[in-house]
Structure 1
Amino acid sequence: MIQLEYFTPADFPQLISWIHDPQLLQSWSGALFSFPLTESSLAWYLEGTNDLQESDALVYKAVESKTGEVVGHISLGGISRKNNSARISRVLVGNTTARGRGVCQGMIKAILKIGFEDLGLHRIDLGVYDFNTAAIRCYEKCGLKQDGIMRDILKHGNEYWSLVEMSMLEHEWRELRDKK
């Protein structure tokens, strides 16, 4: 089982060690960071975050509850209290030995619970590059629906990446939760 705990400066070295090349960094963060990832850029990333009542972003590390091992990273940003919406971003199963074991699903379900139950949101969305088929399958298994594709939205080297937009609405979350 995955539990989310706030990401802190003590977690910077581990995240930096996971992001070992420019393509992975861009896939994980879009244009937010430049390679190599640094502690100072992560300090900026955390500024003003992690206050459930006030912040417009919550940044988490994903912890395997049985072992206490940190296995991933995820954030819920763009929190709009006026529109009751937010955006999942920077999803990373950083520990490669944890991939394929349901860690991504655990992270997504935990962040959806925070958004819909703790924050009372109506809509949560995310964007994922279309070549990341494993992530798309994970998000669909968690109940997110595809809204559309933003074609050639980001240039990496000599190629363009397209972004699949996905979302879940409050009533869809309640239906999934009530089935359990």
Structure 2
Amino acid sequence: MIKLEPFTPADFSQLIEWINDERLMKEWSGSLFAFPLTNDALEWYIEGANDLKNPDVLVYKAVDTKNGAVVGHISLGGISQRDRAGRITRVLVGDAAARGRGFCTGMITALLRIGFEELHLHRISLGVYDFNHAAIKCYLKSGFKQEGVLRDVVRHGNEYWSLVEMGILEDEWRTLHPKSKATV
């Protein structure tokens, strides 16, 4: 089981260790950060984050409740109270050995619970590169629907990457989680 806890400066070194090459950096952050990832960049990233009373962005580390190990990173940004919408960004199961063990689904479910039950959002979206089949499978399993593909949106080296746009609505969340309190 996954528990999300605020991402703080104490977590910077772990994330920097995980993001150990330029391609992974681009997959994880798009163009938000330049490689290599630095403490200064992460300080900027979390500035003003995690204020549930006036949320703009929530940035979390993912903790495996079985052993207390930090296994990943995830954020919910672009939060609009007016539109009751947000966007999941920067999803990473950090240790390659931990991938394929259900941590991604746990992280997504935990963040959707916050978005729909605590923030009372109506829609949560995300974008994933079309070659990231494991992530797409995780998002579909979590209830997201594919909404479209933005072709060749990012250039990395000599190749272009296309972005799969996905979204989930509060009613879809409630259908999957009937005990949910996500109503407004």
Deviation at 1:98, TM superposition (A): 1.2
SS at match of 1:137: helix
Q: Deviations over 1:18-54 (max 9, x none)?
A: 0010000000000000000000000000011100111
Q: Which runs of 5 or more structure 2 residues have no equivalent in the other structure?
A: none
**CA separation in 2, counterparts of 1:23 and 1:97?**
19
Q: Following superposition of structure 1 onto structure 2, how do residues 43-122 of structure 1 map, counting pairs within 5 Å? A: 43-122=43-122
Any runs of at least 4 consecutive aligned residues in structure 1 with deviations exceeding 6 A, and if so which?
none
Deviation at 1:178, TM superposition (A): 1.4
AA aligned opposite 1:9: P
Deviation at 1:179, TM superposition (A): 8.0
AA aligned opposite 2:8: T
Q: Deviations over 1:91-137 (max 9, x none)?
A: 00002221111000000000000000000000000000000000000
AA aligned opposite 2:35: F
**CA separation in 2, counterparts of 1:34 and 1:61?**
21
SS at match of 2:23: helix
AA aligned opposite 2:171: H
Q: Deviations over 1:39-77 (max 9, x none)?
A: 000000001110011130000000000100000000000
SS at match of 1:114: helix
**CA separation in 1, counterparts of 2:105 and 2:55?**
25
Equivalent position of 1:27 in the other structure? 27
**CA separation in 1, counterparts of 2:79 and 2:131?**
27
- Give the root-mean-square deviation of aligned CA atoms: 1.0
AA aligned opposite 1:97: A
Kindly tell me the number of residue pairs found equivalent between the two proteins.
180
- Percent of matched pairs sharing the same residue: 66
